[in-house]
Amino acid sequence: MQDHLKDPVWKQAIAGSQMLLVAFGALVLMPLITGLDPNVALFTAGVGTLIFHVVTGGQIPIFLASSFAFIAPIIAAKGKFGIEETLGGLMAAGILYVILSGAIRLRGTGFVTRLLPPVVIAPVIMTIGLGLAPLAVHMASGRTGDGSSQLIPYDTAIWISMISLAVTIIMSVWAKGIFRLIPIMIGVIVGYILSWFTGVVDTTAVEQAPWFAVPNFTTPAFSWSAILFMIPVAIAPAIEHIGDVLAIGNVTRKNYLEKPGLHRTLLGDGLATSAASMLGGPPNTTYSEVTGAVMLTKNFNPKVMWWAAGVAIVLAFVGKFGAALQTIPVPVMGGILCLLFGSIAVVGLNTLIRHQVDLSQSRNLVIVGVTLVFGIGNMVLGHLEGIALCAVAAVILNLVLPGEKEAWGKRIHEKRAD
């Protein structure tokens, strides 16, 4: 570890570029799905990562970028409120992190883990993945995300999407070293090449785009409807954040929940998300893919992430680069999303299993069952719907239903002691 901390600047820059490469596939895929500008996403991922490192004192080798948890809410909110008010709601979600950070500083982590135990968070995470399944299938079949129109003939699209999916699976399971950490990027590249040969790639936009271009920044607007719609969605990523901080701590053998403290890491994540939303970018979250790269390379130097952030910011101003990203055909993304969205659902399922949530207990069965149906069925109550509503319902049911309450605060402390 100490050797990496003393690496010359050029080695740190190369290592940073490698970390960005690992994060790149998911980073740009999220804005492409939701209709946000990928160049803005690159810029806000870089800025958000730098904000996080300033807030945490540059102690943790973590990279922040586009959060998949917000895909469905962003798509729904854009249709309901428009992009500006959607960004305002996302900014409020970041502020919720800041409020949670202050509460943790005052009262410790115990109350958060009691308020948001595995039986609450797991079904919400499962809903995020399963609720997006139709979007992945529509895109894999060559249709728009809502399935309203056919963009590419089905027979062509399904071959492209399934080969893209197969390549991504093969790289995830059988590849070695750094290649195992970039299955999304390799799947996109293979799918793009295949799409080129089948004649469904249009590069006109790339030819017309300038080399240097300021990203298409968008200013948020604010309405209570959009804010109330978006804030509950932040519950699941907030808990995911705790898991990611624990994971990187296990890799580096440091207790980041104590130093710099969970309140500071959550504050950094919240400020990064709000800053991204102020500029028109997607919400940020800690990237577990990059944690995997840190574990593989044994490069624990946090300054490497500063370089990754810097490279992302520079790439954001390359006009042709952003235009090229937007030429990726729908079936390529759809095929890969069949795996990614399923993986999100499995993370939730694994949370139930790892924490041994007893679903034979009526209260647990009710919480999980109602949460899944409200979320996947896109139930609407007032200003709340889908993922936002199911998150609120899960929290309320956990608080009011009688019986022994599940908790993972104890498990967190056990992990911290390891």
Mean pLDDT of 402-415: 55
Mean pLDDT of 328-348: 87
Say if residues 333 and 33 touch (Cβ distance below 8 Å).
yes
Q: Cα–Cα–Cα angle for 350, 352, 355, nearest 5°?
A: 100
3-state percent breakdown (helix, strand, coil) of the chain, nearest 5:
75, 5, 25
Q: How many CB atoms lie within 10 A of CB 396?
A: 12
Residue 276 has pLDDT above 90, yes or no: yes
The Cα-based distances of 383 to 69, 82, 222, 320 in angstroms read 19, 15, 15, 40
The Cα-based distances of 347 to 123, 279, 354 in angstroms read 10, 30, 10
With a CB cutoff of 8 Å and minimum separation 6, the contacts of 57 are 260, 264
DSSP characters for 339-363?
A: HHHHHHHHHHHHHHHHTT--TTSHH
Please identify which residue in the block is written with the tokens 């009011």. Answer: 400
Say if residues 127 and 387 touch (Cβ distance below 8 Å).
yes
- 218 or 388, which is more confident? 218
- 72 or 158, which is more confident? 158
The predicted structure's pLDDT at residue 407: 60
Three-state SS string over 298-347 comes to: CCCCCHHHHHHHHHHHHHCCEHHHHHHHCCCCHHHHHHHHHHHHHHHHHH
Closest CA to 60 of 286, 283, 314: 286
In this predicted model, what pLDDT tens digit does every residue of 110-120 receive, in sequence order? Answer: 777 777 788 98
The predicted structure's pLDDT at residue 295: 74
Q: How far is residue 103's CA from residue 113's CA, in Å, rounded to a whole number?
A: 12
In this predicted model, what pLDDT tens digit does every residue of 209-248 receive, in sequence order? Answer: 899 999 999 999 999 888 988 888 887 787 778 778 877 8
Length of the chain: 418
In this predicted model, what pLDDT tens digit does every residue of 350-380 receive, in sequence order? Answer: 888 888 888 989 999 999 999 999 989 988 8
Percent of the chain with pLDDT over 90: 33
Considering only 165-174, 218-227, 290-299, 361-370, which range has the smallest mean pLDDT?
290-299
In this predicted model, what pLDDT tens digit does every residue of 16-51 receive, in sequence order? Answer: 777 887 788 788 888 988 889 999 999 999 999 999
- 140 or 180, which is more confident? 140
The predicted structure's pLDDT at residue 415: 41
- 402 or 405, which is more confident? 402
Considering only 127-131, 312-316, 332-336, 402-406, which range has the smallest mean pLDDT?
402-406
Residue 212 φ then ψ, to 5°: -110, 130
DSSP one-letter code for 203 = -
The pTM (predicted TM-score) of the whole model is 0.83
- 403 or 45, which is more confident? 45
Residue 410 has pLDDT above 90, yes or no: no
Residue 127 has pLDDT above 50, yes or no: yes
With a CB cutoff of 8 Å and minimum separation 6, the contacts of 408 are 113, 117, 118, 355
The predicted structure's pLDDT at residue 272: 95
**Token pair of 15, please?**
């290592």
Say if residues 90 and 55 touch (Cβ distance below 8 Å).
no
**Token pair of 126, please?**
């499962």
Q: How far is residue 360's CA from residue 371's CA, in Å, rounded to a whole number?
A: 16
**Token pair of 312, please?**
């992302």
